[in-house]
Chain A
């Protein structure tokens, strides 16, 4: 005898595999995403300078979210996905 019941979960979200990691950053475009929490901008600015100076990064593109408690705007996510080889997110505190 079997007992039938319903699966209550919703699984239309698609899991996306992690993007392939580049071996180095030479000639790459690196995105820096600031989630707006205090001092994330300071950390990212220093990081961006270091990446340009010592890691051969071609260009750094900085974007800022609306608020750290809100999702990153879709336009920003899509723009960074289109233009950047690598994106680094930072949260302050």
Chain B
């Protein structure tokens, strides 16, 4: 059971949190026993059940701890199933949260929620989904961050992140399934359409790409694939994940041209890339780093093509955002030790 603390007032308790490294810089709601008990009513899981070990300190994360942090973040009890699912995904070994907790980079696990429960509790996948302004998105994402702080010990003082990133406050969206012409990410990843699924992918901040001048796929992919192949992203130099979120209007233009989601996925993989001669002008290019690629790269052949997406399973394609919006969000990845994780969660 957690230790009980006391203050003279709620406001003083909030200030007490500021005197510790326990908040993300914004006020937290003090986790009182009644509020934590109410939060626990949002899940059927036993409060003492351990979900996993949180790096870098590898401390055990119980459902009780999750509820305390959900209170602190301002979440509602009905968000608990999503938060528990998110932590299951984040703590899966192959996502390598340990590496991101301690990296110089500013990546964070992007949470993409699919299935009917996201709609029930109001996780926004439409207009303004990356925020600010949506309680479910913000507080689910914030709960995850506060747990990474307080349970994992991944405070800024322990992290090596050079700049940090705004996405480290909260990074949670739903897929805009209602406005998508295609099947959702969860189905692409082998789940049923009515399953409640959460996918975590280690990502950089969204780069927004705009194109309101084209509807022919031959031209429509260009700004997106150029951004995907940017030398500012890690994907130009190694095999790692990437999320591309097409706004509904952009997805519709591909669909109206007769393209399936799989065909758009293939098109983006085929067109995003750089040649060796271009890549070796600078950036992270180094001969001894060629083993970070999966495809053969001949450093002596300037015409050799380096695909930005080194393996098809590393590109996560979703539809998100609102109408109107001729926009695509490209979220570059982190490094070769991570793999996106999808978890079916119980409501």
Contacts and interface: CB of A to CB of B under 8 A. Distances in A.
A25 B242 CA distance: 48
Nearest to B29: A5
B289 A7 contact: no
A5 B337 contact: no
Interface residues of A, number: 18
Contacts of B65: 8, 10
A38 B291 CA distance: 11
B153 A2 contact: no
A71 B289 contact: no
B12 A71 contact: no
Interface string A55-70: 0000000000001011
A46 interface: no
Contacts of B103: 69
A5 B13 contact: yes
A39 interface: yes
B33 A6 contact: yes
A85 to B, nearest CB: 26
Interface string A1-34: 1111111111011000000000000000000000
A3 B4 contact: no
Contacts of B98: 69-71
B96 A70 contact: yes
Contacts of B59: 10, 12-13
Q: Is the interface of A mostly helix, strand, loop or mixed?
A: loop
A6 B32 contact: yes
A6 B2 contact: yes
B151 interface: yes
Interface in A37-93: 38-39, 67, 69-71
Contacts of B72: 8
A4 B68 CA distance: 13
Nearest to B16: A5
Nearest to B1: A6
B261 to A, nearest CB: 31
Contacts of B60: 10, 12
A81 B1 CA distance: 34
Contacts of B32: 3-6
A8 B68 CA distance: 6
B288 A5 contact: no
A5 B6 contact: yes
Contacts of B337: 67, 69-70
B99 interface: yes
B12 A8 contact: no
Nearest to B288: A38
A7 B5 contact: yes
Contacts of B153: 13
Which 3 A-B pairs have CB atoms at the shortest separation, nearest pair first? A69-B99, A5-B30, A6-B2
28 contacts: A2-B6, A3-B6, A3-B8, A3-B10, A3-B12, A4-B5, A4-B32, A5-B4, A5-B5, A5-B6, A5-B7, A5-B13, A6-B4, A6-B5, A6-B36, A7-B2, A7-B5, A8-B69, A10-B57, A10-B59, A12-B59, A13-B57, A39-B288, A69-B335, A69-B337, A70-B337, A71-B56, A71-B98
Interface of A: 1-10, 12-13, 38-39, 67, 69-71
Given A1-B9, A67-B337, 16 more contacts: A3-B13, A5-B7, A5-B30, A5-B31, A6-B33, A6-B36, A8-B22, A8-B65, A9-B20, A9-B22, A12-B59, A13-B153, A38-B286, A69-B96, A69-B98, A69-B99
